[in-house]
Amino acid sequence: MTRRRFRSLLLVPFLTALLVGTSTVGAQAAGTTVSGTLSTYNSWVNYATIRTTTLSSIHLQPSNLLVTADNSAVLNARVLDDTTNTVVGGPVNWTKSYSYKLLMNTSVGYKFRLSACCRETSDNSWSGYLTY
């Protein structure tokens, strides 16, 4: 075996490992803590923050719901198209539950905003974790 062939045989596993190592690094799902304040009773508040999906779905898991008149808890959330300002996902409702729920399926790179509702008492703050 020639010296040149021997060197190239040594380089193949090294280059393969390098390429495989770099190709397994995928895009990370965007996720963030979100919160909002509802200023009026039983009406939707459209939030200004524009987000861009890195997944093909948008999920929300609340960590703080709104206290209702009967002392239970509630939150309604929906997705707005950033360009047209129309409702494209939801509304999704939580009552006494902090479960992880799908707001909508979409495509990667989709620009959207959140909207939330429905304050019944003086409790006007909600929060959660948004995955998109």
Domain 31-131 has CATH 3.40.30: no
pLDDT value for 71: 78
Taking a C-beta distance cutoff of 8 angstroms, is the pair 121, 38 a contact?
no
Structure tokens of 114?
């959140």
User: From the CB of residue 103, how many other CB atoms can be counted at a distance below 10 Å?
Assistant: 22
Q: What is the pLDDT of residues 18-53, one digit of tens each?
A: 333 333 344 567 899 999 998 877 889 999 999 999
pLDDT value for 121: 84
User: How far apart are alpha carbons 59 and 105 in whole angstroms?
Assistant: 9
pLDDT value for 1: 56
pLDDT at 11 over 70: no
User: How far apart are alpha carbons 130 and 59 in whole angstroms?
Assistant: 6
Taking a C-beta distance cutoff of 8 angstroms, is the pair 64, 128 a contact?
yes
CA-CA-CA-CA dihedral for 93, 99, 102, 103, to nearest 10: 40
- Give the DSSP per-residue string, 10-36: HHHHHHHHHHHHHHT--PPPPEEEEEE
Structure tokens of 12?
């193949």
pLDDT value for 10: 40
Q: What is the pLDDT of residues 47-62, one digit of tens each?
A: 999 999 999 999 999 9
The pLDDT confidence band at residue 2, using thresholds 50, 70 and 90, is: low
Structure tokens of 112?
């959207």
Hey, where are the domains in the chain?
31-131
The pLDDT confidence band at residue 92, using thresholds 50, 70 and 90, is: very high
